[in-house]
Structure 1
């Protein structure tokens, strides 16, 4: 009789479902909850610099001095790098010598022309001789003007071997090293202005309404504190639609002084759901779980869920933004699944 009762109790445990098994294993589990902001939907965007410059070489030459490195702040006019300018300097010196020679010839022609004028006034030479001296004087004067122009061009050419910052900013990339050969058009470094950043996102044409700019909110998931939700200074809706994707580009200018915000960073634009069309294209519903339920092992991020028979099963997920003690799960989990809140205990649970 006792054996029959024990067998009946065992069958009742098996038929009672996973929740009882979890309790028997002393593993607390909570259901995954639907996440999101009521009445709003988000679209993924990217932080980009309003003013970003790829500085390229205008003249050929080897890189002989590299004065900056990636991540360094520079001021307007600060030396960035220098190319080998020996050939250009020699050409400039040669042209300067030609200018001096032309000026000397002009002085001789000027005195000769003055003498010819005096002789002509005294009727000692003909008008033709005077005109010849005048023509020689004008030719020498034109020669001096041409040589001076060439000297200016040579000095400008020599100055192109010194690259300076066009404005104050941050060096984003330096793809060259000392000794590299720079050619016209070859990028030498990338510079951006950290005080002029914006978030750009592509929105479906169906959700872009005339009043959309007034209700947009910006989220920077990679930033902590109040800077995670900055107030955009200006929202611009570009007046063109991409023919391939039928999307409209939205730009939201960020305020200055946001620490930890750099170009290329992930961002979101939150829009109010004004109509059914917006709701139809909204991002699929995500779920949220307690932050303590997240497991991180090397490059894997996962969550223990209650599997068949109540046993914990580690599942890889992709996380989104964190709000308080909960974190958003973008993929790998559906609403209603039981999530084990103690991953350490779940990892020690015996397998059946």
Structure 2
């Protein structure tokens, strides 16, 4: 019984303690609400008193301090949007020299890497000893065939022999002559000529090696007088990039910039890169090299007279996009909010389609925290 009584007393004490703690918390909350209410009343009373004092003595309330800002007068100017890509320089004419026949063993080489060559210039001589021997044999056979034909003709004139024998003899002469023509053509094929004019960019063949015209073991001629820049354009620009679009090509390695126009716009979308091919002609320049990296900027939009602003001056609120402009009201410079409609963005310049006009004064710096109607000033 003593243990039960003791447990009951402990529970009663705990319950009383919890109730006391809860009562204390409620008191603190009530006290906080009273303080907040008093503070609100004091704030309202302060505002009312300031209003009454201002009505009796305008100079009694301190004047608002203007916010220091930077301004820029807006004017119209051309605005362009570009697609920035990476491309390369390519040659219109790159020729991998090939033999006109099946090729053969190299007998002589008449060009070295870096040499300027002209179309039709002799570059290689292939081994021709076997063909020359065949020509000698064919000529002997031709003489023999001609001799037999003449003898058969003399007999025919004397009414000796048959017409078939005469025709056969003449046919043997014709065959021997055709064989010599074929062998002479094969002999000419041992001379390898340049198909285009240009520079021997690579001569990767030696005397004694077999020449077949394969790119890995042959001669490459590059004509640098007809160069072009090529690039791949993402397919989402397909309706904005056309033949005739302006292109600004920058070659960073040699610090040169060229303006040209697109001459070819591919009709096929690459299924892997989801892009299409474009090319533009480049002027002749000895410093340009095929496969040289090029920064390609394609002009896909332009406006002759546009209002543009720095991108960082654009702000957003629940009503949409806006900027702050400076206006003079009652002799005082104030900030005013202007809701704007934006167009294209390129680099840090944003085109404004509506909401601003030439002559407006844009707040370009110090606009953070400035509200509509706030007094502003500029650094003199």
After TM superposition, list the pairs within 5 Å mapping 1:1-352 onto structure 2: 39-57=81-99, 58-116=101-159, 133-183=162-212, 187-209=217-239, 212-222=242-252, 224=254, 228-232=257-261, 235-255=263-283, 257-274=284-301
Please, what TM-score do these two structures have when normalized by structure 1?
A: 0.57
SS at match of 2:231: strand
Superposition deviation, residue 161 in structure 1:
1.4
Distance 1:178 1:111, change over 3 A: same
SS at match of 1:259: coil
SS at match of 1:228: strand
Distance (Å, rounded) in 2 between the aligned partners of 1:184 and 1:165: 12
Superposition deviation, residue 259 in structure 1:
2.0
Distance (Å, rounded) in 2 between the aligned partners of 1:203 and 1:211: 8
The unaligned stretches of length 5 or more in structure 2 are: 1-78, 303-380
Count of aligned residue pairs for this structure pair: 222
The structure whose residues are more often strand, as a share, is 2
The unaligned stretches of length 5 or more in structure 1 are: 1-36, 117-128, 276-352
Bigger Rg, structure 1 or 2: 2
Distance (Å, rounded) in 1 between the aligned partners of 2:155 and 2:225: 64
Distance (Å, rounded) in 2 between the aligned partners of 1:183 and 1:64: 13
Please, what TM-score do these two structures have when normalized by structure 2?
A: 0.53
Superposition deviation, residue 184 in structure 1:
6.8
Superposition deviation, residue 104 in structure 1:
1.8
SS at match of 1:106: helix
Contact 1:170 1:192 in 2 (8 A): yes
Distance (Å, rounded) in 2 between the aligned partners of 1:115 and 1:268: 88
SS at match of 2:267: strand
Distance 1:223 1:260, change over 3 A: farther
